[in-house]
């Protein structure tokens, strides 16, 4: 149960660890310490899964696997799987605040091969891990083996004899490349071992982790490859229709995301077994789960695979039937419904009937053309709400202030009593601390006072996203003290 509290949105990649990408090593433990010192109780992250092309964690190779790039090298040294002189050459890149995926992926591949050559495959913990997770793990390792052999070519472009994951040909290819197959098993084991230790440390220090679950699976993923019956695919293995959203003021042509749509009738016949297992599994990794694009359970936009978003249409989702089954199978779970966007009466009913808290984003509140009617204004929040300065898809507060219409900025200044732009970020955050929302999450970039150059993602821009990183010593104790004062002042310390 979420109580009145606060937290920070900070993805693992953004942690200031010394090897080019944030990991679940010392910097992650230090960040838990920072949250504790700031009297916060939640750390929100983006999806933990391994991203596919484009590096977006919302388009991943698996909904169940962990990103191997998060494995900490220093912890591998402590475990005797690496030597210090083997990783020393890659410490601290020139661009400390930017992640270069090409460099990191290339270096990690060589290092992980070395780790796997020294790994004890007969270890009981490793064998038990495989047995406990075989429902998804074996399929993932099979998929990644074939993907590696095909140099990351999507599975639907492989030879037809390899498109059936259970075919004799596929099993033969895996058998002939068992070293690659086991490479992916070992990396998952190492990720899960390190993550469970971090999660335990967070709990020991009163910190809960909020995870993120994209509603859709990526087409080029082990989810779709290994469970083709769950998705609306044609005889050619390609999607009949794909996900997206209709044209609006922000995207005149609409958006075509390309994810295959679920065959909800088939899911219903199975009592949504795959979906429920997906949520259950993710809740073993985190304490609270944000369901991205919650609206898709009420109604989803279907676009013919070979046409544009303008040719799409709305279809009815599974609605409360799904959530009734979910609550019957998984009791007392904490979910957050990402209900942003156009609010229909049916979506409003679904959110109310499910009982999950919805979201409010402060940067959406100050449209000066809206005549003070926005539901995103803090004084309109209900208690069952999770309020954000912005999400991973939004600008930082300072970036928003520097780019918003002058009328919107004047409106925001008048609302919070700011004399000028410089005062605005702090007072905007204060308006969230004061609100009725039971949980407030602020972007790490806003805590650090960073501008738009540090935003995490610009939707529909294909390059340059997901690369922001915090610099060393960003999360200093004096900053934690200032935050702790405000958290206590507005009663957001749930232990009080």
Question: Annotated catalytic, 292?
Answer: yes
List all residues 6 or more positions away from 258 whose beta carbon is below 8 Å from its beta carbon: 219, 239, 242, 243, 244
Distance CA 255, CA 376 (A): 24
Phi, psi of 423 (to 5 degrees): -80, -20
Active-site residue (options: 223, 241, 287, 292): 292
User: Which residues are registered as beta bridge partners of 137?
Assistant: none
For residue 492, give Cα distances in angstroms to 234, 267, 395, 432, 439. Answer: 51, 40, 25, 11, 8
Nearest to 216 by CA among 291, 123, 271, 131: 291
Distance CA 62, CA 128 (A): 21
Positive or negative, the Cα torsion across 305, 309, 313, 317? positive
Tokens 């650090």 sit at which residue?
448
Question: Annotated catalytic, 393?
Answer: yes
Nearest to 340 by CA among 330, 329, 332, 351: 351
Which tokens in the block code for residue 117?
């050559």
Q: What SS3 class is residue 275? A: helix
Which tokens in the block code for residue 399?
């970036």
Active-site residue (options: 72, 338, 363, 493): 338
Which tokens in the block code for residue 61?
């190779």
Active-site residue (options: 86, 97, 370, 393): 393
Q: Cβ distance 496 to 9 under 8 Å?
A: no
The per-residue DSSP string of 10-34 comes to --GGGS--SSSS--SSHHHHHHHHH
Distance CA 368, CA 410 (A): 8
List all residues 6 or more positions away from 12 whose beta carbon is below 8 Å from its beta carbon: 22, 23, 24, 28, 45, 46, 48, 67, 70
- If one counts every other C-beta atom within 10 angstroms of the C-beta of residue 274, the result is 18
Where is 185: in which H helix or E strand? Answer: helix 178-204
Nearest to 146 by CA among 163, 130, 133: 163
Distance CA 63, CA 57 (A): 10
Nearest to 142 by CA among 226, 257, 17: 226
List all residues 6 or more positions away from 1 whose beta carbon is below 8 Å from its beta carbon: 334
Question: Annotated catalytic, 496?
Answer: no
Task: Return the exposure string of 350-373: e unless at least 16 CB atoms fall within 10 Å of the residue's CB, then b.
Answer: bbeebebbbbbebbbbbbbeeeee
Q: Cβ distance 304 to 312 under 8 Å?
A: yes
Q: What positions carry a catalytic annotation?
A: 292, 338, 393
């Amino acid at each position: 149960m979420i109580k009145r509290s606060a937290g920070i949105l900070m993805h693992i990649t953004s942690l200031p660890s010394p090897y080019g990408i944030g990991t679940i090593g010392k910097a992650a433990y230090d960040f838990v310490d920072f949250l504790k010192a700031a009297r916060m109780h939640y750390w929100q992250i983006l999806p933990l899964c391994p991203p596919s092309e484009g590096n977006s964690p919302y388009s991943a190779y698996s909904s169940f696997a962990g990103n191997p790039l998060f494995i900490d090298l220093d912890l591998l040294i402590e475990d005797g799987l690496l030597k210090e002189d083997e990783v020393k050459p890659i410490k601290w890149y020139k661009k400390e605040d930017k992640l270069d995926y090409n460099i990191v992926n290339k270096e990690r591949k060589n290092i992980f091969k070395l780790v796997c050559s020294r790994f004890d495959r007969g270890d009981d913990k490793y064998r038990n891990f495989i047995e406990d997770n075989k429902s998804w793990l074996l399929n993932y390792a099979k998929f990644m083996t074939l993907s590696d052999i095909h140099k990351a070519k999507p599975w639907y472009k492989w030879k037809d004899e390899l498109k059936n994951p259970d075919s004799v040909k596929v099993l033969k290819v895996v058998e002939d490349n068992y070293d690659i197959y086991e490479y992916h098993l070992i990396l998952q084991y190492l990720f899960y071992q390190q993550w469970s230790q971090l999660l335990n440390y967070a709990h020991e220090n009163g910190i809960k982790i909020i995870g993120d679950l994209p509603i859709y699976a990526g087409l080029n993923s082990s989810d779709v490859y290994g469970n083709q019956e769950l998705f609306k695919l044609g005889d050619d293995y390609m999607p009949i229709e794909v996900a997206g959203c209709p044209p609006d003021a922000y995207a005149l042509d609409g958006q075509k995301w390309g994810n295959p749509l679920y065959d909800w009738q088939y899911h219903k016949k199975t009592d949504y077994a795959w979906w429920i297992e997906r949520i259950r599994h993710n809740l073993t990794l985190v304490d609270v789960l944000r369901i991205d694009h919650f609206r898709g359970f009420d109604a989803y936009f279907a676009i013919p695979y070979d046409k544009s978003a303008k040719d799409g249409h709305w279809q009815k989702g599974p609605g409360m039937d799904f959530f009734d089954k979910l609550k019957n199978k998984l009791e007392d779970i904490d979910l957050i419904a990402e209900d942003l966007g156009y609010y229909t009466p049916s979506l409003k009913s679904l959110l109310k009937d499910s009982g999950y808290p919805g979201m409010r984003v402060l940067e959406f509140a100050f449209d000066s053309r809206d005549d003070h009617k926005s539901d995103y204004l803090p004084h309109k929040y209900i208690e069952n709400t999770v309020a954000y300065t912005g999400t991973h898809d939004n600008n930082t507060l300072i970036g928003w202030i520097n780019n918003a219409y002058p009328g919107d900025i004047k409106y925001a200044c008048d609302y919070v009593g700011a004399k000028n732009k410089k005062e605005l970020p702090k007072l905007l955050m204060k308006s969230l601390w004061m609100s009725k929302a039971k949980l407030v999450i602020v972007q790490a970039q806003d805590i650090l006072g960073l501008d738009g150059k540090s935003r995490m993602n610009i939707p529909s821009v294909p390059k340059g996203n997901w690369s922001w990183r915090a610099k060393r010593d960003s999360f200093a104790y004096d900053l934690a003290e200032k935050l702790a004062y405000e958290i206590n002042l507005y009663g957001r310390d749930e232990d009080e």
